[in-house]
Structure 1
């Protein structure tokens, strides 16, 4: 029997339980315990992946939770929290290609013993193994060769963004920097906040891969701003691997992501005057003439695409545009508290609560905006250059 699970596999640990920084800048509330509590109590997630478990400080915190029996090992990999939410151990690692381009890749490993061995091995290359997303001083092909020997799942992160991504700054095709064997070891592709499957499926070599949408959360409230529904036979690392490879009927059946226009790198942006591009690729700012531009994800895909329109393979998950509560005008902390008190989790508010029920708690205007966000009919001002887009309403 297959069950459906809300899944966010890209959550950062900001600080250890002992008060030492893991990732700067992030929220100091992003401890392993804080993430698990937020995922269960506020977000309603079934699977969470932390991507800083390469750090011995994070591993020590996880070991402590296991000793206290707050985390229970799952035989097929991963750790169960409160008998309801699966924790997956991952690492975000930075690599460098011959052209100087930097990229981030997620590496997920089934248990703490194997992750500890992987951490020890990678400390030969990473100067400060305690900190997040450190440069491994190697190309991706070498990381794939190393990580592949640790029973891992390898997922290139936010692959189109203009900073630290494969298509953004390293290559126009994976096949330019990886062999067929190395490409085969990639378990899935993370789209990033500024792209969706319509955009990514314009690149032909991605057709064989499963797409996932993750939050890349740097604070607790950002958890599940993008997520997926995995259809699996059980909650385990092994079942996740099967879902990504679409075996034994396990699969990713839905991606819930920001409308790409809300992403902070969707359109080309002038760093001098703040102009955000409309249609068409630009190399100088039409407003001030500056050439200091941050190329948008849409423009980058237009440069490298094989197809004008997306070519979706038959296995492609449906992509649903989601606008998190934090992006909805009028939903501040007080309104959020009221909504969560009434509906328990953000998943319930975004997916299941009726207009009448929402209006009874937050008023008709906010209820209407939530319904617009749910339907995909909201008007959005596009983001770029590190500035998120904005929901305006209809």
Structure 2
């Protein structure tokens, strides 16, 4: 068995013809650049690209395989240098049973599986070439297809106020929209962690995943997990999510929820913290109040909490977000110690001391222990580290 770091929610900004896929994604965020960044700089052993339903993205992957730069694995996934690419698609569900739109992640083991999924989706989606498009069918219909074709189904950033399972999709329970028996894991999102999610008893059966939802190369591994696998592949990932045959998720790494954009309930206009969404802002009078993840979970909590023993959740930030690590220092760290994962997890303190000033090193060591002091965010504004 070996361990690796995996970020399973990364968007494609542009295809290899420079056409937009995720419109809000960076132009540099191509499949080729993603796997290069993950393998050569971030130190990720597995990445999930969630716009692989776009035919042009599939064509770019096929080209990498034909050129001998990548290969499809027997257990599913695409090997590129030190990183395995998992083929996924983020999709919006808004059927008659939904209270609002929600996003889900669908993954498949092989390129032919994803091509078949795209053909099926094209009859139920207006534009297969763009990211996170509306699925014209039911959530359970989508789940059934994924299950019958050997895929994985994961609700995305499930507490975010907009376009998520608990943010808008359901009033009280995921059973209103989805079949719990056909959910393979659930994604926490940037404004929640394990302790918060554990307040919902209906989530007890599911493994929690933490991913970056990256819209730029720099944000790869903003959140990720450490997996214990026999080897890196799609089927090994499935076993880890099921905690089967010794495979498992070892740790979750992600932002302190207070740093997420939607942790607190705040006024969307002035960002003043609000007590309730039912009354105008006490500071500016605006009626547009965004319900924070913390308060939404409190609304859903029914008194009982989970008793499942879960992996540790370590609060951390990107290496480049640590006070004192600017562009030049970041590049020097990677030149000296190979990758961001090496710097964060492996390099001894005595070696880091040769590169980093004392105060910056202190922040990095605090992050390793999950002890950074932060100021809360909300209403679309990220929190920050107290320097």
For the superposition of Structure 1 and Structure 2, which TM-score range results when normalised by the shorter chain?
Answer: over 0.9
For residue 148 of structure 1, give the secondary structure of its aligned residue in structure 2: helix
What displacement does 1:288 show? 2.1
**Any gaps of 5 or more consecutive residues in structure 1?**
none
Task: Name which of structure 1's ranges 122-131 and 322-331 shifts more when overlaid on structure 2.
Answer: 322-331
For residue 6 of structure 1, give the secondary structure of its aligned residue in structure 2: strand
Q: State how far apart, in whole Å, the 2-side matches of 1:307 and 1:138 are.
A: 34
Question: Aligned runs of 1:327-366 on 2, under 5 Å?
Answer: 327-366=321-360
Question: Aligned runs of 1:193-232 on 2, under 5 Å?
Answer: 193-232=190-229
Match in the other structure for 1:70: 69
Task: Name which of structure 1's ranges 364-373 and 39-48 shifts more when overlaid on structure 2.
Answer: 364-373
Question: Aligned runs of 1:149-164 on 2, under 5 Å?
Answer: 149-164=148-163
Report if aligned partners of 1:338, 1:362 keep a CA contact under 8 Å in 2: no
Q: What's the CA shift string for 1:38-69, capped at 9, x where partnerless?
A: 00111100011100000001000011011011
Question: Aligned runs of 1:171-186 on 2, under 5 Å?
Answer: 171=170, 172-178=172-178, 182-186=179-183
Q: Does 1:306 align with 2:305?
A: no
Match in the other structure for 1:96: 94
Q: State how far apart, in whole Å, the 1-side matches of 2:31 and 2:271 are.
A: 37
What displacement does 1:351 show? 1.6
Task: Name which of structure 1's ranges 268-277 and 333-342 shifts more when overlaid on structure 2.
Answer: 268-277
Normalising by the residue count of structure 2, what TM-score does the alignment of the two structures yield? Answer: 0.95
For residue 360 of structure 1, give the secondary structure of its aligned residue in structure 2: coil
Q: Does 1:275 align with 2:269?
A: no
Aligned pairs, how many?
Answer: 384
Question: Aligned runs of 1:279-290 on 2, under 5 Å?
Answer: 281=276, 283=278, 284-290=280-286
Distance change in 2, residues 1:337/1:143 (3 Å): same
Q: Does 1:375 align with 2:373?
A: no
Match in the other structure for 1:59: 58
Question: Aligned runs of 1:61-140 on 2, under 5 Å?
Answer: 61-82=60-81, 84-98=82-96, 99-140=98-139
For residue 296 of structure 2, give the secondary structure of its aligned residue in structure 1: helix
Q: What's the CA shift string for 1:231-264, capped at 9, x where partnerless?
A: 1122211111111111111111111111111111
Report if aligned partners of 1:90, 1:108 keep a CA contact under 8 Å in 2: yes
Q: Does 1:9 align with 2:5?
A: no
Report if aligned partners of 1:232, 1:250 keep a CA contact under 8 Å in 2: yes
Match in the other structure for 1:238: 235
Report if aligned partners of 2:314, 2:369 keep a CA contact under 8 Å in 1: no
Q: State how far apart, in whole Å, the 2-side matches of 1:41 and 1:307 are.
A: 46
Match in the other structure for 2:250: 253
Compute the RMSD of aligned alpha carbons.
Answer: 1.5
Q: State how far apart, in whole Å, the 1-side matches of 2:38 and 2:137 are.
A: 34
What displacement does 1:325 show? 1.8
Q: State how far apart, in whole Å, the 1-side matches of 2:137 and 2:307 are.
A: 33
Distance change in 2, residues 1:276/1:374 (3 Å): farther
Q: State how far apart, in whole Å, the 1-side matches of 2:135 and 2:95 are.
A: 11
What displacement does 1:355 show? 3.6
Q: State how far apart, in whole Å, the 2-side matches of 1:116 and 1:214 are.
A: 24
Q: State how far apart, in whole Å, the 2-side matches of 1:344 and 1:58 are.
A: 28
What displacement does 1:162 show? 0.3
Task: Name which of structure 1's ranges 328-337 and 121-130 shifts more when overlaid on structure 2.
Answer: 328-337
Normalising by the residue count of structure 1, what TM-score does the alignment of the two structures yield? Answer: 0.94
What displacement does 1:376 show? 2.3
List structure 1 runs of 4+ shifted beyond 4 angstroms: none
Q: What's the CA shift string for 1:176-209, capped at 9, x where partnerless?
A: 233xxx2111100010011001000100010010
What displacement does 1:128 show? 0.8
Report if aligned partners of 1:199, 1:298 keep a CA contact under 8 Å in 2: yes
Distance change in 2, residues 1:276/1:332 (3 Å): farther
